[in-house]
Amino acid sequence: MKILFRFFMVVAAISSMSGCSGVPVHIPNVPDQAVDWSRGRHIVAGARGFQLLLLIPIMTNSRHERAYQALLKEANGDFITDIKIQEFWWYAYIGTIYSTKMEATAYPRLKRPVPVSETSEPPRDPDESGGDF
């Protein structure tokens, strides 16, 4: 009887281990049309979530997607590449705050659609001037 009780305790403990998947973010970093590589600008965006009591995600699972969408909004239709990602966390007594920061360089698209092989060569050392979100 004692063994049975322990078995059920173990099963309950394992089944109570909760988990979740974040929203996958797809980043097509190959230009689909000609890009003006001489006019790159640095853009930054971020998103936060809170893990309440370590088990209850509040906007945690979507923060990568939200950060990327915010980055696209900052780009305002420009092609973005050289995307950097940085993660932050803070302990907040009743949970943990998670934050994702994305940085990128946005290049204006040119009107004429051309194959990738015809685009000018991208810069080797894009501008890394600072900024914060």
Partner 1 sequence: MGKTINTVVALVIMLGVLPGCASVSTTIAPPPPEHYEVLGRAEGKACGSLGIASPAYYFIPMWINSRVERAYQRALASVPGAGSLINISIQENWFWWIIGTARCVTISGDAIREVD
Q: Contacting partner 1 (CB under 8 A), which of 52, 73, 87, 115?
A: 87
**In the range 108-127, which residues lie near partner 1 by CB under 8 A?**
116-117, 119-123, 126
Q: How far apart are CA 34 and CA 129, in angstroms?
A: 24
Which residue, 4 or 30, is less far from partner 1 as judged by CB? 30
Burial of 17 (0-12, 13-18, 19+ CB in 10 A): exposed
Is-contact 86 104, C-beta < 8 A? no
Which residue, 1 or 87, is less far from partner 1 as judged by CB? 87
> Which residues fall within 8 angstroms of residue 46, CB to CB, at 6 or more apart?
67, 70, 99, 100, 101, 102, 133
Q: Is 20 an interacting residue with respect to partner 1 (CB under 8 A)?
A: yes
Residue ranges in contact with partner 1 by CB under 8 A: 13, 17-30, 51, 53-55, 57, 60-61, 64, 81-93, 96-97, 101, 103-105, 116-117, 119-123, 126
